[in-house]
Amino acid sequence: VSEAIWEYPVRMRRSEPLSREVIVHAAMAYVDEHDLGTLSTRGLAAQLGVTPMALYRYVRNKDELLDAVVEELLARIRLPRRSGTDWRRWLEAIAQSLRRLFVEHPVAISAFARGPVTTPTARRRLEQSVEMLTAAGFTPDEAVKAYAAVHTYTVGFSTLEATRRSNANPRDLAVPVAELDSLHVSIHQFVSDDQFTYGLRALLSGLTPSASV
Amino acid sequence: VSEAIWEYPVRMRRSEPLSREVIVHAAMAYVDEHDLGTLSTRGLAAQLGVTPMALYRYVRNKDELLDAVVEELLARIRLPRRSGTDWRRWLEAIAQSLRRLFVEHPVAISAFARGPVTTPTARRRLEQSVEMLTAAGFTPDEAVKAYAAVHTYTVGFSTLEATRRSNANPRDLAVPVAELDSLHVSIHQFVSDDQFTYGLRALLSGLTPSASV
DNA sequence: ACCTGAACACCGTTCAAGT
DNA sequence: ACCTGAACACCGTTCAAGT
């Protein structure tokens, strides 16, 4: 299950002084290359050329360290330029840009899986969306539901995509029939750029302000 | 020094003989009460009144044990009765029934998070769906995409729902503004029965065979 | 055949001590 | 103030030995 991740022969010979920033930075470097789940305090300490407990001067515990890493990951999210008043185009743009972040930095998904995201960017994303939707005739309540639907679809899709992509899934090999031959369906079709866009557009075209009915 | 035997609550005093079935059964009992992630071979062995290595006679390793548990979890999924030819009603029914399973047995989500599910039930679910959709004018390819969209939405939603529900999320408390006061939006609204159904129906009404356009 | 003891290579974390 | 050593309570797993 777990391979040898850190080259334990200590590299970083303590040139830089230890600090919260240095620790989080090292954790980020690791997490970008590997995974949030395999990050260990001991491995991190070794990489920094220090005993595990040295870290505890700067972070209360592993959970706090993980939260710090997650914050850093979330800071990478940027809102696309807002142009025009086509709310469907806007919702599609933010959904696509969020997914692109997830594809490029799969570890960012863990940030969303850990709990609700309430960073400034996340809030501005919601606020701008609600603005456009209410302008289009949605009630505020409907607007939030519509936004939530798109957001959940995007994060949910990306979450499943990540597990299917990641590290040579054993079940694909173990189960002899990953395809339904009669239909020429591969389970891999379930997650792809096309499939994401297909579902997203279906969802978007199904969203309409009740007033317009 | 190391003779400190941790006092596990060794209940089961080895009345039953050990077997693969007994082990998986015990793992299921644990997993229903606790979580798939906290299951340990050592704990399980202790619960069975046996040393950890006794298990290795019946399961190759922890991963194989986990797979066995997952299979058992998936066996709980039942297809709803198929009545009529309304494909939207059918897709909503299988989505709702799948989510209900997830709500009642949150641990079943891990089964889907571990990788693609290709059990007989999962395949029959897909096949029946494709049948109805093609009858309604979808091409086989479209039918699979439509099914996949609904399936991914359901599993994705449930995954996020589980992390938000579970064990008193710290971020809710840590982040002072979990609500956008101006909008009276709580992040909790994002996952609810209503929200699930709202998004599902939007998605369903957005799905149409291209031939009908 | 079925299980155990001892060990190895890990984890997160605490506490007292060293500089 | 900043870090270390030793320890505690865990992990999954292997290998040789006991019955």
Strand D reaches within 7 A of the B40 CB: yes
CA/C1' separation B52–D13 (Å) = 10
Nearest to A176 by CA among B128, B118, B74: B118
Average pLDDT, rounded, for chain B: 82
> What pLDDT digit, counting tens, does each position of A9-30 carry?
344 455 578 999 999 999 999 9
CA/C1' separation A80–C16 (Å) = 54
Cβ density class A59-96: b for 16+ within 10 Å, e for less: beeeeebbbbbbeebbeebeeeeeeeeebbebbbbbbb
Tell me if chain A has a CB within 8 Å of the CB of B67: yes
Task: Compute the CA torsion angle A60, A65, A66, A69 (nearest 10 deg).
Answer: 150
Contact A199, A153 (CB under 8 A): yes
For residue A180, the SS3 value is strand
Mutate to test the interface with A, among B181, B185, B193 (most CBs of A within 10 A): B185
Say which amino acid occupies A56.
Y
Residue B80: per-residue pLDDT:
86
Q: Give nucleotides in strand D with any atom < 7 A to a protein C-beta.
A: 2-6, 8-16
Residue B186: per-residue pLDDT:
60
> What pLDDT digit, counting tens, does each position of B68-111 carry?
998 898 888 888 888 788 999 999 999 999 999 999 888 888 88
Supply the pTM of this predicted model: 0.82
Give the count of beta carbons closer than 10 Å to the beta carbon of residue B66: 20
